[in-house]
Amino acid sequence: MTPRERFLAAARGESVDYTPVWFMRQAGRYLPEYRELHVKYSVLDICKMPELSKEVTLMPVKELGVDSAIMFADIMLPLEGMGVKFHIIENLGPVILSKVREVSAAEELKKFEAKRDVPFVLEGIKIVKEELMETDTALIGFSGGPFTIASYLVEGQASRDYSNTKNLMYNDRETWHAMMTKLSAMVSDYLSAQIEAGVDAVQLFDSWIGTLSILDYSEFVAPYTKEIFSRLAHDYPDVPKIHFGTNIFHLLKSMKENAGGDVFSIDWRIPISTAGRVLGKEIPIQGNLEPAVLLARDREFISRRTQEVLDQASGLNGHIFNLGHGVMRETPVENAKYVVDYVHSHTS
């Protein structure tokens, strides 16, 4: 199988020659080549220049031999076109200058149009696809999830307790609904445009939904996420859709039943086998090595932890090996490569 065939088969719960692997944030600051480029260009600069985002997207394919590339971009990128003003600050993340705290701000969010607002992403996908032809490596497109984007818009930046977001959600349903409706329309348009441009699969990063109770997730978020997945399932039934969050064990059942996705991507806090019992073994799972394991100096320890993930996933119909969240900045590249090789050679 080629890497793309292997990745797609696992995402569809079909048999594979060996387990496919890629890492969230595999194109990032732990790569010396990326750091070198980043001296001259900001994250947003790179995202907006297709030749540069192509180069960065391909770095881990060459360095690590992963089965899938993921387009280099940020979840905030599509929001500029909606009229949101923000910066990206190193080690903190997005900082929003035009926060959404009342209904007028939600109503002012402009309708997103992919060709007008993110032409560089669509162009990037086309030229990355060309480069990936030779090895037939898969390409994943992505978007932030509606809650995760909303939390940045309301809080203005990363948050520990999401008090402003929850305050708005409970006390001002009109604003919440207006904002979430516009964000979910943007997300499905954005993912559709990436599929049309040529990505093989899409991932919805609703990274911060784990802060919500089951009841709040089901009432305030899942209906919007469901809109997104239903539309994509209708328009692109054959393109795998991966649904990701952290701290989501309590939400998995609701995510599956009330929101959707073909593959669920889980963090390291629970074994894959435990998630598999909740989701049912017919649902493919992506994950879930603790990212910090790649900081270990002892290869025997890394092997042991990697093997444990493979063992936990052995009862599933589909497994895409990944970390539970993004690659950490301090990660030695050799350790990331070691795990890719380990997964390939120990699952054939």
Is the Cβ of residue 90 or residue 136 nearer to ligand CP3 in the bound state? 90
DSSP state of 111: P
Return the range that interacts with ligand CP3 (CB under 6 A); candidates 86-94, 166-174, 217-225, 282-290.
Answer: 86-94
Residue 171 lies near ligand CP3 (rule: CB under 6 A): no
SS3 216: helix
Q: Of residues 142, 176, 229, 321, which one binds ligand CP3 by CB under 6 A?
A: 142
Task: Say which residues have a Cβ less than 8 Å from residue 196's Cβ, sequence separation at least 6.
Answer: 122
C-alpha angle with apex 199: 34 to 191, nearest 5 degrees?
A: 100
**Please, what sign has the CA dihedral across residues 2, 263, 319, 289?**
positive
Tell me how far apart the alpha carbons of residues 166 and 220 are, in angstroms, rounded to a whole number. Answer: 10
Q: Of residues 8, 16, 27, 320, which one binds ligand CP3 by CB under 6 A?
A: 27
Q: Of residues 94, 141, 287, 318, which one binds ligand CP3 by CB under 6 A?
A: 94
Residue 45 lies near ligand CP3 (rule: CB under 6 A): no
Residue 70 lies near ligand CP3 (rule: CB under 6 A): yes
CB of 234 to ligand CP3, least distance (A): 25
Tell me how far apart the alpha carbons of residues 144 and 7 are, in angstroms, rounded to a whole number. Answer: 21
Q: Which two tokens mark 15?
A: 């048999």
Residue 150 lies near ligand CP3 (rule: CB under 6 A): no
Residue 54 lies near ligand CP3 (rule: CB under 6 A): no
Count interface residues toward ligand CP3 (CB under 6 A): 21
CB of 300 to ligand CP3, least distance (A): 28
Tell me how far apart the alpha carbons of residues 170 and 164 are, in angstroms, rounded to a whole number. Answer: 10
DSSP state of 220: I
Tell me how far apart the alpha carbons of residues 316 and 263 are, in angstroms, rounded to a whole number. Answer: 12
Residue 72 lies near ligand CP3 (rule: CB under 6 A): yes
Residue 25 lies near ligand CP3 (rule: CB under 6 A): yes
Question: Which residue in the shown chain puts its C-beta closest to ligand CP3?
Answer: 28
Residue 210 lies near ligand CP3 (rule: CB under 6 A): no
Residue 128 lies near ligand CP3 (rule: CB under 6 A): no
CB of 88 to ligand CP3, least distance (A): 5
Is the Cβ of residue 90 or residue 334 nearer to ligand CP3 in the bound state? 90
Longest dimension (CA), the chain: 57
DSSP state of 30: T
CB of 10 to ligand CP3, least distance (A): 18
* Nearest alpha carbon to residue 203 among 106, 320, 96: 320
Is the Cβ of residue 15 or residue 93 nearer to ligand CP3 in the bound state? 93
Is the Cβ of residue 91 or residue 345 nearer to ligand CP3 in the bound state? 91
Residue 190 lies near ligand CP3 (rule: CB under 6 A): no
Residue 93 lies near ligand CP3 (rule: CB under 6 A): yes
Answer whether 253's CB lies under 8 Å from 222's CB: no
Contact string 308-337 vs ligand CP3 (x = CB under 6 A): ------------------x-----------
Residue 346: CB atoms within 10 A of its CB come to: 13
Task: Say which residues have a Cβ less than 8 Å from residue 221's Cβ, sequence separation at least 6.
Answer: 146, 147, 180, 206, 209, 212, 259
AA letter at 49? M
Answer whether 227's CB lies under 8 Å from 187's CB: no
Report how far apart the first and last C-alpha atoms of the chain are (Å, whole number).
12
Task: Say which residues have a Cβ less than 8 Å from residue 170's Cβ, sequence separation at least 6.
Answer: none
Q: Of residues 17, 45, 51, 90, which one binds ligand CP3 by CB under 6 A?
A: 90
Residue 75 lies near ligand CP3 (rule: CB under 6 A): yes
Q: Which residues bind ligand CP3 (CB under 6 A)?
A: 24-25, 27-29, 43, 70, 72, 74-75, 88, 90-91, 93-94, 142, 144, 148, 205, 207, 326
